[in-house]
Structures are given as C-alpha cells and as structure tokens.
A and B are shown apart, each in its own frame.
Chain A
C-alpha cells in the first residue's frame, strides 16, 4: 500500500447515505422543532381551532365557523381595545425611542461621571416585575398619591385628579408607566449602538464644521438604524400585549377606557367563559403583532 493510495481513499471517501440525504439538515432541526411545535405551534393551532367554536371551557362545544370573528367586527369593546393598544404604541415605543435617542446622544458626547450608575438606574424598571411596577404607580396616581401631592405643592391644585379614574387621563397614565419601563431598554440599546461608531467620524464631521445637531442626524442616527429596528420591534410587542399593567391598575376602567386586547382575552376566557371569542381576539392580536413587526423589520432592513 503506497501512501498515495491512502490519500486517494480518504479523498474519495463519501458521506454515508443518511448524511447525503436531502432530509438530513432537517434531522438536525428536529429536536428543536419538536419542542417549538409542542409549546408554541400546537397551542397556537389549538387556539385558532377554538376560535371557530362557541365553547364555555367545559362541556360541549358548537362549531360556528368564522362567527366569533364576525362578532368581533361589530364589537365596540374590541375595537376600543385595539384602538387603545395602538395608542399604547406611542407611549411604549415612540416616546421612549425619541427620548432614548436624545439622551443616549447626550450621554455619549458628554463625559458623565458615574455613567454606570445612571445606566443601571435607568435600566432598573426593566428588571422589576411589572406587577410590582403597577402597584407602585397605582399609589403614585391615587387621589392622595405622590403625583397629586407634588402638583398641590407647586400650586397646581386645578390639575389634581384621580389619574387612573378619569377617562381622559387613565389611558395616558397607564401608557406613561410603559414609557417609564421601556425607556431604559431603548436607551441602553441606543448607547451600545452609538459606542460602535468610530470617534474619527465625529472628528471628521467636526472638522467639516458640523454642530451637535448635524452630527446627530448625519452620523449617529444612520449608524443606529439596526438598534432602532430592534427597539421598535421589542417595544411594540410589549405595547400590544400589555396585560399586567392594565389588570393591576384599572381592570380596563373607568368604563372601558383602558381595555386592551390581552385583557379582553383574559376577560372573555375566564370571566365570561367565552373561550371561542377569547381565542378569536388572541388570534387577531397575534396577526396584528406579526403584521406590524414584519412592517417595521422590512423598513429597517431596506433602509440599512
């Protein structure tokens, strides 16, 4: 046996039939797919199926086709819930993004002492359980709570109210809690994006006579597009699936002014025992979240 023949044999050794099969890559996916299927796809499929039935959660069920969805189309509570959820996007995504961007740009420019400390403080709301956040803010908003005390202290007595009990302010009050929670996440994402920008770029811009504002729009903003997309996707999902904050602060009130789709799902399934209708709301919500985020990702990808 010559050394050459060994080398030849090795070179010509072919993968086994299993490894060559077209389905092989899928075999590697299988374990993860089984878990994903059992805990995500199967429940999703069952929810879609339930949404076609009228069912109390026990006992017999009646097939109603798309009846639950047709009912939703004419359901004022549901439309209100969707409207409120879209409104919450402003509070959960848009405001944190704008403020977060500006804050991050300022923090990046200025040499702030104790930067790590401030970053931790601003990020802290993300770490606290939302139920705790909600209870704390309920106290702040209460008629004799901190917010009203402060307003009274500076002589703005006319503005004091039960913030969560006034239909005009309740949704904004709940939304602002969302702003407070999401702000830290968005700002941290922006900061990490900006830290990747080489300092030379800013130097060059400054030599060309660009001010802080010009610098922000010409260099910083384009550089963090990817982070902006991620931040929007995460916060929009959080806005649309808000449940804990509403459940703990207002239960959808006053009247129905702060109800949101997730709360409707819970309410229909567990209080009204209309599992079919609840599933239909859940499916619509899923489709909505999916559609909005596909849109956001597409725009983000195209521009970068």
Chain B
C-alpha cells in the first residue's frame, strides 16, 4: 500500500508540473520585438559612427581552409572598423543546424548566423519571421550586381516562406558548390575514349567502359543522399531546367510522374541493374567510395566539387572534372549551390554592422582571399581559378554553370521530408526494389502533399 501511495504522489506531482508548464514554444513570440527590415534609403552603412559594439557571429566554417579564410576576413574587418569587436562562435554544421531553431526563437540572438538554405531550415525560419529581410541592404550595397541571379535565388523566399527562389533575400554565401563528372584521363585513354560532350556520348562511354572490364561509374550510396548528386545532373538531360527548379524548390506547378522524369529514373534504374554503378552501390559508404575511386576502381565519379582536392592529392593530374553535358534545353544545368549562407536574425541587436560584415566577407577582395585559402569562391570564380589541377576544371565548370547555365537546387531542398523520401526512393530504384514509375509516384506524393498543403 505504501508503495502505491508513493507512486500516487509521484504521478500527482508530475501532473502538477505539467499543468504549470506552458504549451511548448508559447513563451516566444516568433518575430515579435524585431525591428522591421530597412528599405534601401534607410540602410545605415556608416559603421565607424556606430560607437563601440560587439558583433556576435555564429558560423560553421571549422575545416582547415575555411577557418583560415574566415579568421583572416574577421581580422581585416576589425582593422577597418576598430570600434567593432567580433565575438565568433564556430561549430560543425550538424551542431549548428540542430540548435539554430532554438537559438533564433530566444531573445538573445547572434547578429550574424549561418542558416542552411533548405525549406526545412531557412524556409521555416522565414515563415516564422525569425530572419531579417536583406533586400534593402542588397540594393544599398549592390549585392544584386555582385551575385549571379541563379545563386541569389537559393537564398530567396517569399515573406511568408511559401515560395522558394523568388521574393526577399535572407542570406549571402561565400563559397560555391557544383556537382559534376570526375573522370580519370588515364582510363579514358586506355578505353580509347574522350571526355563526353553530350549525354549520349556519356551513355556510350558507360557501355564502352563496361565492355572494357571497368566499373563505369563509382557510387557509394549507403548514406542515401549521394545518389541525389548523381540523379540531379542526370535528370537535367531529360527534364528542362525550369521544371527541375520548380520541383527542387518545392514550389507548386510541376509533376514528378511526368514522362521525362520517369525516363530519367529509368536510366538510373538501368545503371543500377546493369552494374554500371558497381556491384552494390547501396552497400558502399560515400566516404569509402571516393578513396576506392582514387585507387583505380571506376572510370567516372559523379559528385560534388568538394571531393576534388582530396582526390587530387592521390590521383594528381590523372583526375579531371567537367560540368555535365548540356541538358534537355541545350544549356548546361546541374545540381549545385552555395556554401551555407550568412543571415541576420530578426532580433539581431546590431543589424547594420551585421550587414556591413556580410558585405565585407562576400566582397571581391574576400573572394580572392577565399580562393587563396583553397575554397571555391562563389563570385569571380573563373577569374580566380588556379592555373592547373582539378580545381581549375572545377572553378571553370562552376562559373559556366552559374553564369551561363542553371545551378539546379539540391533536390532535398524541396520539402522538409524530401531528403528522406528521395534518398530512400533512389536507393530502391538503384537496387531494383522499386520500378521507376512507382518511385516517381512516391516522390510526387511527398512533393504534392507539401505544395498543396501550404
């Protein structure tokens, strides 16, 4: 009996605590208490006159070269404005991403914060009024001239967060990324082939490689997302860029089950079943796959520009990179994007200085500094390309895609659950557990649920 009483008391106390606790999140009022975003003529660019201030910056530029670049830029900014002290907190992307929501909803927010572009992150914060609209600053500082439009669109949302790619600007990136095709020059020579200039040539190359006893394409897709970086460029051969942008940004008006999308999925399924992607791409980890490629397994590797320097360290001049051949509408289009953009929280105390800082770290001089430190700057990319090596190829490819072609969004930007849906579905397409039609249906279901629900 005694034990029962004790349990009873415990339960009673517990429920009392529950009643006393308020509904989750009700103590923070979204964008309340935030100053409205300034228009172009209200923007204060005279930072030296602001007096002594401390600018709190949260970033995820922790890896060697990135860290060096941002440290150098912070130093230069403080030299330019001695009245500004920068208080920098840096942590890994995963850690930062997981606490951004909580950090933004509090009252003590950083002045500058890196926020992932995806709908689940930046889109959700915009909808809740947690980020400052930078459109006025963009005009005052001339950011629209500095950045290519297809780059800026990756940080652009309507004020209610419903439309992605149009509307207000909520952040600026420093670096670029592009998915393309790595190839081993030596292997192409052995096969008597040359770098493909059309997708048909690429498909032929895949067959030639297989007949020559080589694994045509290296893919490690145990982690689920790597296939998206293969499918993205491939899809551009079958589907026009505008439709992919609509699908990838999760805006209404496109259809995953269209004939051309199914054709793209069918090609991926064929690659999977014929062994063009290796014996068991779904069983191989991403970080095990590219080292195997550097050791000589695979003729091609379709993936992100970030792999270049590490693979080059092993393969040297044998490693080359190219943007995919022109897509369905005759222009080059491939998955790519920007580094994580720098944003200003709605409740930032020093928004004017924060904007000046973002302007400073994305300036033309800053781009040169990033390139010197080994990163790929998002602007002036071709100009700053090194003389040789795989980074020369990568810089030129990014420049070609971002200025003349279309930088397609990562497909998982589309809806908060799309990374999982697409990752799982593409695994099933490659492994033969789902037909291309069924896969298209699953992707459409996620996309339609989201676009119709919002």
Using a CB–CB cutoff of 8 Å, the interface residues on chain A facing chain B are 25-26, 29, 33, 37, 41-42, 44-46, 48-50, 53, 55-61, 63, 138-139, 141-144, 160-167, 249-256, 267, 270-273, 275
Please, could you name 29 A-B residue pairs with CB atoms under 8 Å apart, sorted by A?
A: A26-B9, A29-B6, A37-B13, A49-B18, A49-B21, A55-B24, A56-B25, A56-B101, A56-B128, A58-B130, A138-B285, A141-B283, A143-B284, A144-B284, A161-B279, A162-B279, A162-B281, A162-B282, A164-B283, A165-B221, A165-B431, A166-B280, A167-B428, A251-B222, A253-B222, A253-B282, A253-B424, A255-B424, A255-B428
- Cβ of B288 < 8 Å from any Cβ of A? yes
Q: Are A45 and B280 in contact (CB under 8 A)?
A: no
Q: Are B101 and A142 in contact (CB under 8 A)?
A: no
Residue from A50, A56, A161, A270 with most neighbouring chain B CB atoms (10 Å):
A56
Size class of the B contact interface (CB-based, 8 Å): 35 or more
Q: Are A167 and B101 in contact (CB under 8 A)?
A: no
Using a CB–CB cutoff of 8 Å, the interface residues on chain B facing chain A are 2, 6, 9-10, 13-15, 17-18, 21, 23-26, 28-30, 98, 101-102, 104-105, 120, 124-125, 128, 130, 221-224, 278-285, 288, 292, 416-417, 419-420, 423-425, 427-428, 431, 433-434
Q: Are B105 and A272 in contact (CB under 8 A)?
A: no
Q: Are A58 and B105 in contact (CB under 8 A)?
A: yes
- Taken together as a complex, chains A and B put the C-alpha atoms of A139 and B289 apart, in Å, by 12
On chain B, the residues within 8 Å of A270 by CB distance are 98
Nearest B residue to A166 via CB reads B283
- Taken together as a complex, chains A and B put the C-alpha atoms of A44 and B104 apart, in Å, by 25
Residue from B105, B282, B428 with most neighbouring chain A CB atoms (10 Å):
B282
- Taken together as a complex, chains A and B put the C-alpha atoms of A271 and B279 apart, in Å, by 30
Q: Are A255 and B101 in contact (CB under 8 A)?
A: no
| Choice from A139, A254, A255, A271 contacting B419 with Cβ under 8 Å | A271
Given known A-B contacts A46-B21, A255-B433, A272-B416, A56 and B282 have beta carbons under 8 A apart: no
Determine how close the nearest CB of chain B comes to the CB of A43; give it in whole angstroms.
11
Determine how close the nearest CB of chain A comes to the CB of B106; give it in whole angstroms.
9
Determine how close the nearest CB of chain A comes to the CB of B451; give it in whole angstroms.
17
Nearest B residue to A54 via CB reads B24
On chain B, the residues within 8 Å of A144 by CB distance are 284, 292
On chain A, the residues within 8 Å of B282 by CB distance are 162, 164-166, 253-254
On chain A, the residues within 8 Å of B98 by CB distance are 270
- Taken together as a complex, chains A and B put the C-alpha atoms of A138 and B105 apart, in Å, by 39
Q: Are A143 and B283 in contact (CB under 8 A)?
A: yes
- Taken together as a complex, chains A and B put the C-alpha atoms of A253 and B420 apart, in Å, by 10
Using A165-B427, A250-B222, A255-B424 as known contacts, list a sample of 19 further A-B pairs with CB atoms less than 8 Å apart, ordered by residue number in A.
A26-B6, A26-B9, A33-B10, A49-B24, A56-B101, A58-B104, A59-B30, A142-B288, A162-B222, A162-B282, A165-B221, A165-B281, A166-B280, A167-B433, A253-B424, A253-B427, A271-B416, A272-B416, A273-B101
Q: Are A254 and B433 in contact (CB under 8 A)?
A: yes
- Taken together as a complex, chains A and B put the C-alpha atoms of A166 and B282 apart, in Å, by 7
On chain A, the residues within 8 Å of B6 by CB distance are 26, 29
- Taken together as a complex, chains A and B put the C-alpha atoms of A251 and B222 apart, in Å, by 8
- Taken together as a complex, chains A and B put the C-alpha atoms of A59 and B419 apart, in Å, by 23
Q: Are A143 and B279 in contact (CB under 8 A)?
A: yes
- Taken together as a complex, chains A and B put the C-alpha atoms of A25 and B9 apart, in Å, by 14
Determine how close the nearest CB of chain A comes to the CB of B249; give it in whole angstroms.
18
Nearest A residue to B5 via CB reads A26
Given known A-B contacts A255-B424, A273-B124, A61 and B25 have beta carbons under 8 A apart: yes
On chain A, the residues within 8 Å of B124 by CB distance are 56, 273
Q: Are A253 and B14 in contact (CB under 8 A)?
A: no
Q: Are B417 and A58 in contact (CB under 8 A)?
A: no
Nearest A residue to B98 via CB reads A270
Q: Are B224 and A275 in contact (CB under 8 A)?
A: no
Determine how close the nearest CB of chain A comes to the CB of B187; give it in whole angstroms.
18
On chain B, the residues within 8 Å of A45 by CB distance are 14-15, 17-18, 21
- Taken together as a complex, chains A and B put the C-alpha atoms of A59 and B9 apart, in Å, by 34
On chain A, the residues within 8 Å of B28 by CB distance are 58-59
Q: Are A167 and B280 in contact (CB under 8 A)?
A: no
Q: Are B25 and A55 in contact (CB under 8 A)?
A: yes
Q: Are A275 and B24 in contact (CB under 8 A)?
A: yes
On chain A, the residues within 8 Å of B221 by CB distance are 165
- Taken together as a complex, chains A and B put the C-alpha atoms of A142 and B283 apart, in Å, by 6
Q: Are B101 and A271 in contact (CB under 8 A)?
A: no
Q: Are A61 and B284 in contact (CB under 8 A)?
A: no
Determine how close the nearest CB of chain B comes to the CB of A163; give it in whole angstroms.
6
Determine how close the nearest CB of chain A comes to the CB of B292; give it in whole angstroms.
7
- Taken together as a complex, chains A and B put the C-alpha atoms of A41 and B10 apart, in Å, by 9
Determine how close the nearest CB of chain A comes to the CB of B294; give it in whole angstroms.
14
Q: Are A251 and B223 in contact (CB under 8 A)?
A: yes
Q: Are A57 and B23 in contact (CB under 8 A)?
A: no
Q: Are A254 and B24 in contact (CB under 8 A)?
A: no
Determine how close the nearest CB of chain B comes to the CB of A287; give it in whole angstroms.
15
On chain A, the residues within 8 Å of B14 by CB distance are 37, 41-42, 44-45
On chain A, the residues within 8 Å of B283 by CB distance are 141-143, 161-166
- Taken together as a complex, chains A and B put the C-alpha atoms of A18 and B284 apart, in Å, by 68
Given known A-B contacts A253-B222, A255-B433, A58 and B280 have beta carbons under 8 A apart: no
| Choice from A139, A143, A267 contacting B278 with Cβ under 8 Å | A143
- Taken together as a complex, chains A and B put the C-alpha atoms of A98 and B221 apart, in Å, by 36
- Taken together as a complex, chains A and B put the C-alpha atoms of A275 and B222 apart, in Å, by 27
- Taken together as a complex, chains A and B put the C-alpha atoms of A60 and B27 apart, in Å, by 8
Residue from B18, B278, B283 with most neighbouring chain A CB atoms (10 Å):
B283
| Choice from B23, B222, B425, B433 contacting A53 with Cβ under 8 Å | B23
On chain B, the residues within 8 Å of A42 by CB distance are 14, 17
| Choice from B17, B24, B284, B433 contacting A50 with Cβ under 8 Å | B24
Q: Are A165 and B280 in contact (CB under 8 A)?
A: yes
Residue from A42, A49, A160, A165 with most neighbouring chain B CB atoms (10 Å):
A165
Q: Lowest 8 A-B CB distances belong to which pairs?
A: A162-B283, A165-B283, A162-B280, A165-B282, A58-B105, A58-B101, A59-B128, A143-B280
| Choice from B101, B125, B222, B279 contacting A164 with Cβ under 8 Å | B222
Q: Are B23 and A271 in contact (CB under 8 A)?
A: no
Determine how close the nearest CB of chain B comes to the CB of A225; give it in whole angstroms.
24
Nearest B residue to A249 via CB reads B222
- Taken together as a complex, chains A and B put the C-alpha atoms of A143 and B124 apart, in Å, by 39
On chain A, the residues within 8 Å of B425 by CB distance are 255
On chain A, the residues within 8 Å of B29 by CB distance are 60
| Choice from B18, B125, B420 contacting A267 with Cβ under 8 Å | B420
Determine how close the nearest CB of chain A comes to the CB of B252; give it in whole angstroms.
20
Q: Are B420 and A271 in contact (CB under 8 A)?
A: yes
